[in-house]
Structure 1
Amino acid sequence: MRNLKKVLSVTAAAAMAVSAMTPVTAFAEEETFKVGVIGPMTGDYAQYGTNVYNAAKIAIDEVNEAGGFNGYQVELLDAGDDQGDPEKAVNAYNDLLDKGMQMLCGTVTSGACIAVGAEAAESTFLFTPSGSAVDCITAGSNEFRMCFTDPMQGTKSAEYISEKGLATKVAVLYDSMADYNVGIHDAFVEGAAEYGLEVVADEAYTTDSNTDFSVQLSKIKESGAELLFLPNYYSDCALILQQAADADLDVTFFGVDGMDGILSVENFDTSLAEGVMLLTPFSATAEDEATVNFVTAYGEENNGDTPNQFAADAYDVIYAIKAAAEDAGITPDMSNEDISAALSASMLNIEVEGLTGTAKWTEDGECDKSPKAVVIKDGVYEMME
């Protein structure tokens, strides 16, 4: 457990109001806070890292226009490209420290986050937008996350399916060699029992045999399942949907955040994803003012691209850091260790109404917010009620 002092809660809106009233001092003109981002900017997972960096830039530009953190401007350092590799992530972390980084929005992928977390423990404030493995934030009391853990995604999926009445008989098909998939699967099966769902088929495949799912799909079809839960990444899910259509499997499909990106898979017939649901905190087609403004700004800054949930999580990370920074009263001349300790204490005092929901944080660094899901209609995500 983390021994952090709790004080009166503040909202992000209140923190922003304080910022607007805080005069920019002469010192503020000379000193800036420096924020780093580490993630895969190139390679197979580049869409994750680039979305995080681009969204962090938009948020920091907005923050600076509104007065920065406590009247001090915020500088976003050049992104550290780890290509999803833990060793490269540690190298990127040390490079950003050499450039003056005082707080980190990252890393993006779980393995890299675990490696960097061990380096940053109790020294540099780490706030991952998307590192979902349990061990991403266990190394120090100065580590927080915006997303759900892998097991929590499984539990929340079971809760959502049950409470929305999507099915009573469910099947699961997952990669039994991948930690991400297994963690979600195990928690989902346990959660299904808790929420009154019957798992009528529990089928697995392995990472080195992820091209032919005919045997597993046949068993699922025979099981009488009404819904197929897919705790897998989008590339596998695209193949599964194709082969499920070939097998005339008539079920509802429900995935998790790893499925985000399926509509961009090369040569995938997106009509096969019609009606597919997935647990994700963000839809770029939502019509609330905050989402519309963010999506518009993102497109204008990035050649018309549409942000994904990684971008939305990163945007919320920056505003959560802002709220914590203003609650803590930190200044750029403080050491990384002092900034880290102050921010960590203040994270327990804030509540942020962000793109991905209204969030609070617990002593173990976990994000407490309600699950959201989207359904794919006409090739785009739509938020579910």
Structure 2
Amino acid sequence: MQNVSINRRSLVAGAAGLGLAGVLAGCSNEGDGSGAGSASGSASGSAFMIGGIGPTTGDAAIYGNGVRIGAQIAIDEINAEGGDIQFDYNFQDDENDAERSVNAYNNLKDWGMQILMGTVTTAPCVAVSAETNADNMFQITPSGSSTDVIGGQPDADGNIATPRKENVFQMCFTDPNQGAASAQYISEQGLGTKIAIIYNNSDTYSTGIYQSFMSEASELGLEVVSEQAFTNDSATDFSVQLNAARDAEADLVFLPIYYTPISLILTQANSMGYAPKWFGVDGMDGLLTVKGFDTSLAEGAMLLTPFVATAEDEATKSFVEKYQSADYGDGETPNQFAADAYDCIYALRAAIEQSGVTADMDYSDICDALVETFTSEDFSFTGLTTAGESATWSDTGEISKQPMGMVIQDGVYMPLDA
């Protein structure tokens, strides 16, 4: 696939740097991140200034708080080692709003940010990535999965509306990758013979996954018997969509949407006596936390994810234990957003080590060096979300790593056996 790209170095060479490396190193912890923002200090007098943006309040707070805490754990671990690479960290709440997210980005620049880890949700990430691209600020998002975040990707008609943003990278799968991988998994595992889809056509995340799923399903010969859309304004009554799926005798319903409407769909399907298999993507993560939702209705629901908190490897067990401690998540189970954020920080450290950049450098020079490193053939990363294998990044900013199947059993997420 050909990608249109712009050389950011050629556009910003000679521009005055705004990074204030080390000036604010060693600042104290200021709150728990539930308000406008939080900052944590490093163990040395010179540190890379890492900013983060995401919703820590509002309907999407489960995602933003997961990212905030996951990154904090990684930063605390790295700083505690006392090595040459130290981080200062400031996470800002954007309430899942694009305008607030841009304002948060500007606040972080004033703070002295040199690298952005975020944003968390798609629409704010698209808006902020335009700003970081103009500034040549290195950005890695744990969960902004739309191709509009990184740019340079063709639409359904093969047109590239947004040039590649060379400074922006993803730790998460892109929406098309999630859709295609879901179709492949359903086909390979023989999970359904007649498939219905319920998606949100007012949401970029949902429509991107839906479109790629449909394309791959057609290639694989999957029978899609019902395609039903809803919008944010109609996300309370799913009787039309569910009746269409039931009337078409769908035995599996694919849900490329977030967990809140999924909880309503499962509840309303149960009241109708309709019990197909349910299959989702990363937006389903969080379903078991919905207040008032009967979690028994989620038994057997499946999704693709890069992280399973119940995995038995030592790295996952250590991360989960720390996340659930009183110092961090206070009993909460980390979701994949938290794990992706944790991996973002460690990937940044690996790239900083390999590139040789230092904390006293201008953020634009740091960006150029990190872009070169992330896209080099000899750079790879193994973390919580890479299924024990090395992940790499293409020059599109997309990550290549293996998804894992997960199923809800006895009220917890468990690996889905192949």
TM-score (norm 1): 0.89
Structure 2 residue 191 is the aligned partner of structure 1 residue 182: no
Aligned to 2:81: 66
Structure 1 Cα separation of the partners of residues 268 and 99 of structure 2: 37
**Shift, 1:169, TM fit:** 2.2
Matches within 5 A, 1:106-121: 106-121=118-133
Selected match of 1:126 from 139, 155, 167? 139
Q: Secondary structure at the match of 1:159?
A: helix
Name 1:92's counterpart in structure 2: 104
Q: Distance in 2 between matches of 1:37 and 1:162?
A: 38
Q: Report the Cα distance in structure 2 between the residues aligned to 1:132 and 1:143, rounded to whole angstroms.
A: 12
Q: Report whether the alignment pairs 1:165 with 2:187.
A: no
How many Å apart are 1:373 and its aligned residue? 2.0
How far does residue 291 in structure 1 lie from its aligned partner after superposition?
0.7
* 1:152 counterpart (160, 171, 177): 177
Partner of 1:56: 71
Q: Is the 8 A contact 2:256 2:280 kept in 1?
A: yes
Could you give the per-residue CA deviations for residues 256-289 of structure 1, whole angstroms, max 9, x where no partner exists?
Answer: 1111111111111000000000122112111111
Q: Distance in 2 between matches of 1:29 and 1:229?
A: 49
Bigger drift between 137-146 and 49-58 goes to: 137-146
Q: Give the 3-state SS of the residue equivalent to 2:358 in structure 1.
A: coil
Is this contact kept in 1: 2:254–2:280, CA < 8 A? yes
Aligned to 1:228, the other structure's residue is in SS state: strand
Question: Residue 230 of structure 1 aligns with which residue?
Answer: 255
**CA separation in 2, counterparts of 1:325 and 1:193?**
43
Shift of 1:247: 2.0
2:48 counterpart residue number = 33
Matches of 1:35 and 1:383, distance apart in 2: 33
- Residue 327 of structure 1 deviates from its aligned partner by 1.0
Q: Which stretch has the larger CA shift, 287-296 or 189-198?
A: 189-198
Question: Aligned residue for 2:28?
Answer: none
Report if aligned partners of 1:52, 1:314 keep a CA contact under 8 Å in 2.
yes
CA contact (8 A) 1:29 1:72 kept: no
Q: Determine the structure 1 residue equivalent to 2:18.
A: none
How much does 1:63 deviate?
1.6
Q: CA deviation at 1:319?
A: 0.9
Query: Does 1:335 pair with 2:362?
Result: yes
The corresponding residue for 1:11 is: none
Secondary structure at 2:324 match in 1: helix
CA offsets 1:313-347 (integer angstroms, 9 cap, x no match): 00010111111111101111111111000011101
Change (3 A) 1:213 1:86: closer
Change in 2 beyond 3 A, CA 1:212/1:41 = closer
The 3 A distance-change label for structure 1 pair 248 and 84 is: same
Aligned partner (choices 166, 185, 198) of residue 223 of structure 2: 198
**Aligned counterparts of 1:90 and 1:50: Cα–Cα separation in 2:** 18
Q: Secondary structure at the match of 1:30?
A: coil
**Which residue of 1 is the match for residue 25 of structure 2?**
none
Q: Does the aligned pair in 1 maintain the 2:120–2:141 contact within 8 Å?
A: yes
Once residues 369 and 330 of structure 1 are traced to their aligned partners in structure 2, the CA distance between those partners, rounded to angstroms, is 26
Count of residue pairs the alignment pairs up: 359
Q: Are the equivalent residues in 1 in contact too, given 2:339–2:384 (CA < 8 A)?
A: yes
Structure 1 partner of 2:393: 361
Q: Please give the alpha-carbon distance, in whole angstroms, between the structure 1 residues aligned to 2:172 and 2:86.
A: 27
Over the aligned positions, Cα root-mean-square deviation in angstroms equals 1.7
Question: Which one-letter code corresponds to 2:89 in the other structure?
Answer: L
Query: For residue 53 of structure 2, what is the amino acid of its counterpart?
Result: I
Identity of aligned residues (%): 52
**In structure 2, C-alpha distance between the alignment counterparts of 1:153 and 1:343, rounded to whole Å:** 26
Residue 336 of structure 2: aligned partner: 309
Displacement of 1:29 after TM fit? Answer: 4.7
Q: Which runs of 5+ in 2 are unaligned?
A: 8-42, 152-163
What is the CA–CA distance in structure 2 between the aligned matches of 1:256 and 1:72, rounded to whole Å?
Answer: 35
Task: Judging by fraction of residues, say which structure has more helix.
Answer: 1
- Distance in 1, matches of 2:44 and 2:402, equals 40
Q: Which has the higher contact order (CA 8 A, sep 6+)?
A: 1
CA distance in 1, matches of 2:294, 2:125: 33
CA deviation after TM superposition for structure 1 residue 224, in Å:
2.7
Shift of 1:54: 0.9
CA offset digits 1:11-51 (Å, max 9, x no partner): xxxxxxxxxxxxxxxxx953211111111122221221111
**Cα distance between partner residues in 1 of 2:281 and 2:82:** 37
Match in the other structure for 1:352: 381
Whichever residue aligns with residue 109 of structure 1, its letter is: T
Residue type of the alignment partner of 2:221: G
- Higher mean C-alpha displacement, 168-177 vs 354-363: 168-177
Structure 1 regions of 5+ residues with no counterpart? 5-27
- C-alpha distance in 2 between matches for 1:198 and 1:250: 19
Q: Does 1:257 align with 2:282?
A: yes
What is the SS of the residue equivalent to 1:197?
Answer: coil
Aligned 8 A contact 2:118 2:141 in 1 = yes
What is the CA deviation profile of residues 122-174 of structure 1, one whole-angstrom value per residue up to 9, with x for unaligned ones?
52110000001111122621110111122221111101111222123211112
